[in-house]
Amino acid sequence: MALLARRDDLLEALCEEINSPADEIRAIPYVHDVTDYDSVPGLLQEITAALGGLDLFIYNSGILIPSGMKHFEFEKDRRMTEVNYLGALAWLNPVAAMFHRQKAGQIVGISSVAGERGRVGNPSYNASKAALTCYLESLRNRLTRRGVHVLTVKPGYVLTDMTSGMKNLYFAISAERAAADICTAIRRRKQVIYTAPIWWLVMLAVRNIPSIIFRRLSF
């Protein structure tokens, strides 16, 4: 597998953790910023050549920059949109084209329950995840007929750097638990999953709260 992120020390350490016990190279690190859109096609070619092909692609990169309720800041919104959505488009378009050609492959996008309603807390984070969810659905509808599977993952709260210091993390799960749910969904070729699964029920209720009530809530 190829692992991509910006922090090379963490990336190297993770690859080492995977490769050492196996006593062979299973994970190759690539330092990359998903907002470096122009480098994506070349890097995809390089990775595909190094791995000898590609059958699974996971877009996980995402940032949440907290913003106060009275703040409306374009710069923060742009950064979240670029990493959470535009970076996804930069990668998933060429990957989709490749899988379309080879009539096989699986795409996984890590979206969020946050994309299901426009809540007061983080408008552009919510919007970036709503856009990603919608884009993944379109990809699925386009690619299913070519034998390509697209999985949308909607996590609730997961205990990672992103949520560190946050309060009221209802139904929070570990990153390992979320990863296990995602692996199971990949193997079972699911289309959409919530992790933890309880969020399916929670979001069913949240989606149906009328606006007259929803706009008075403070979450």
Ligand X SMILES: NC(=O)c1ccc[n+]([C@@H]2O[C@H](COP(=O)([O-])OP(=O)(O)OC[C@H]3O[C@@H](n4cnc5c(N)ncnc54)[C@H](OP(=O)(O)O)[C@@H]3O)[C@@H](O)[C@H]2O)c1
State the catalytic residue, choosing from 59, 85, 125, 194.
125
Encoded one letter per residue, x for contact with ligand X by CB under 6 A and - for no contact, window 48-87 reads ------------xxxx-------------------x----
Q: How far is the CB of 69 from ligand X (least distance, A)?
A: 20
Q: Is residue 14 part of the contact set for ligand X (CB under 6 A)?
A: no
Residue 194, beta-bridge partner list:
154
Which residues, in sequence order, are CB contacts of 4 under 8 Å at separation 6+?
Answer: 11, 29, 30, 31, 32, 34, 43
Query: Which residues, 6+ apart, have CB-to-CB distance to 8 below 8 Å?
Result: 29, 31
Query: Which residues in 108-137 contact ligand X (CB under 6 A)?
Result: 110, 112
User: Alpha-carbon distance 108 to 195, whole Å?
Assistant: 14
What mask, x for binding ligand X by CB under 6 A, covers residues 158 to 197? x-xxxx----------------------------------
- Which tokens hold the place of 188? 């079972």
Told to judge if 194 belongs to the known catalytic residues of this protein, a careful annotator would answer no
Angle at 202 between CA 200 and CA 208, to 5 degrees: 100
Q: 3-state DSSP call for residue 153?
A: strand
- Binding flags for ligand X, 16-35, as an x/- string (CB under 6 A): ----------------xxxx
Chain positions contacting ligand X, by CB under 6 A: 5-7, 10, 32-35, 60-63, 83, 110, 112, 155, 157-158, 160-163
